[in-house]
Amino acid sequence: MRDVLYRFFWRGVLVSGINALYLRVAPRRLVLLGYHSVSRLENARELKGDLYRHLSVPADVFERQMQYLKDHGYTCISFADLAAIERKERLMPAHPVIVYFDDGYRDNFVNAYPILKKMEIPATLFIAVDCVEGRGNPWGATVSDVAGVFLSWDEIRNMKDIFSFGTHTMSHRKLVNLPPEEVRRECAESRRIIEERTGEPVVAISYPKSRWNLEVRGIAEDLGFSYILSHDRGVNYGPPYKFLNKIPVGPRDTFVLFRAKLGLYYRLVRLLRRLIFIQPVRE
């Protein structure tokens, strides 16, 4: 019942025109859409999709989302484009979006890459190096058989015409749980390996599980990453665009919710939470 009311509420926000009005009057915003996996029933068994089904957007839904961006004036850019914009070598488009993927699932190549290539949409892949090289996975010791789940370096290199690459660290461990010297190694060594394997510069880092603190952020900044994410949920106003917020997209997001997330969703959610938790004034 709660889910039904939730969907009904956000459908009402869209139908009312409030979301469209907000998008017309809001200042220019950079949107980062964060994905993990794009799935198809016909290859889910081969790719062991049950392991990460909770992260996986169906391919037809993903394609509809990407088509919505193209049909509604959004311009998908890369982090290299963003750097050129900040250097004033090109203009920021009216509605910029960066599409990215965390971890390095093989279905990014098998399922997502053909859609992005067909639509000429650039994307960024944040690679967890130990996952790709067969030394670990995001679930730790609870899962041992991950053969075929993650991309190979050859597959990653074959996506270079659409994908740029960032680091998601070496082991995908929560950086807040590690000593500073280990955080530095996780970030620096993963960047070195990704640059060596792909021949491309790595200018961005995505925190595993979006967990960070000021010490972790300081280390990433000290290592010279131009873009560091994610620090919160929502959109980005700037420049500068160094510490970035994201909009996560998952399998539970209806198309209505996807559209709302591009607009008023996070501002309205924060407002409602503040109203709900207002404490009565005591004399």
pLDDT higher at 61 or 270: 61
- Longest CA–CA separation in the chain, Å: 68
* CATH code, domain with 151: 3.20.20.370
Q: What is the DSSP string of 199-242?
A: SS---EEE-GGG---HHHHHHHHHTT-SEEEEEEES-B--S--S
- Residue 150's contacts (CB-CB under 8 Å, 6 or more residues apart) are 103, 104, 105, 106, 131, 132, 134, 137
* Average pLDDT over every residue of 42-62: 96
Same domain, 273 and 169: no
Q: How much of the chain exceeds pLDDT 90, in percent?
A: 81
Q: How much of the chain exceeds pLDDT 70, in percent?
A: 97
Same domain, 51 and 136: yes
Please give the pLDDT value at position 277.
Answer: 57
Residue 21's domain spans which residues? Answer: 1-26+263-283
Same domain, 227 and 131: yes
Contacts of the segment 82-88: beta carbons below 8 A, 24+ positions apart:
82/30, 82/227, 82/241, 83/203, 83/226, 86/239, 86/240, 86/241
Distance, first Cα to last Cα, the chain: 39
Please give the pLDDT value at position 4.
Answer: 77
What's the total number of domains in the chain? 2
Same domain, 253 and 170: yes
Same domain, 62 and 190: yes
Burial of residue 75, with CB atoms counted within 10 A of its CB: 0-12 exposed, 13-18 middle, 19 or more buried = middle
In this prediction the pTM is 0.94
pLDDT at 181 over 60: yes
**Rounded CA separation 199/55 (Å):** 29
Please give the pLDDT value at position 280.
Answer: 47
Please give the pLDDT value at position 72.
Answer: 95
Same domain, 104 and 146: yes
pLDDT at 282 over 50: no
* Average pLDDT over every residue of 158-178: 97
Same domain, 17 and 49: no
Distances in whole angstroms, Cα of residue 282 to Cα of each of 192, 275, 279? 57, 17, 9
